[in-house]
Amino acid sequence: MQAFEHADECDAVSRRIQSVNTLRRDGPRWLGSNTDVTGFLAPLGALTPHRGGRAVILGAGGAARSVSVALASAGLQVTIAARRPDQAESVAALTGAAVGAWPPPPGSWDLLVNATPVGTAPYSTESPLPDGYPFRAGSVVYDLVYNPPYTRLLVDAERAGCRTIGGLDMLVAQAQAQFDWWTGQRPADRVLRDAAVARLAAERALRAEDRR
């Protein structure tokens, strides 16, 4: 939010969600951009539900705002589900989404997106959904958490027959868009993915060493 407020000029998406995650110097001015929307949609690709499909976003922070705008642009019916209804209502009002129950009723979505930090290492055994939540086989579960690359939520969903996407895919797509905006060159996704995987492995090794 602070970066958005201090940027001299922002792109249309950044203005709508009132957030930027990338800054670029242009003479005396700072330009702001947000790569969350393009970064989120890129890995979804062919797994995107058909237009009019139902998408539920868990969480009501900055990531949820970006995801809500992205899914609405793809023609999906978007619902925000958060533990705090007031925060869900704030995101819904900003992005045109609906507000739903927490946790979302089983069978109420075709695409579920975790935009909360629940499941992030070192709490990787946690899930934003209750134990035993009944996933519907064939639906899509997308977890924005990238550390670990394969979260408890994704494990549970895949066991139930869901198609899954991890947050590392979004992180790589965001980095590609940012580097392109800064330099005019788009790096290969494999280069960025390998770098991210190596950094995450190093962090896990440090945590393991600290526990000894």
Average pLDDT over residues 169-183: 94
Do residues 149 and 164 touch, judged by C-beta distance below 8 A? no
- The residue type found at 204 is R
Which CATH topology does 43-168 take?
Answer: Rossmann fold (3.40.50)
Residue 162 CA to residue 135 CA, distance in Å, equals 7
Cα dihedral sign, 4-9-11-17: positive
Which pair of tokens denotes residue 125?
């055994």
pTM over 0.85: yes
Residue range(s) in the chain whose domain bears CATH number 3.40.50.720: 43-168
Tell me: pLDDT of 201 over 90.
no
- The residue type found at 7 is A
pLDDT digits (tens, 9 = 90+) for 11-59: 888 888 888 889 999 999 999 999 999 999 999 999 999 999 999 999 9
- Give me the residues paired with residue 164 across strands: 141
- The confidence band for 196, taking pLDDT boundaries of 50, 70 and 90, is confident
The region of weakest confidence among 5-9, 25-29, 157-161 is: 5-9
- SS3 category, 173: helix
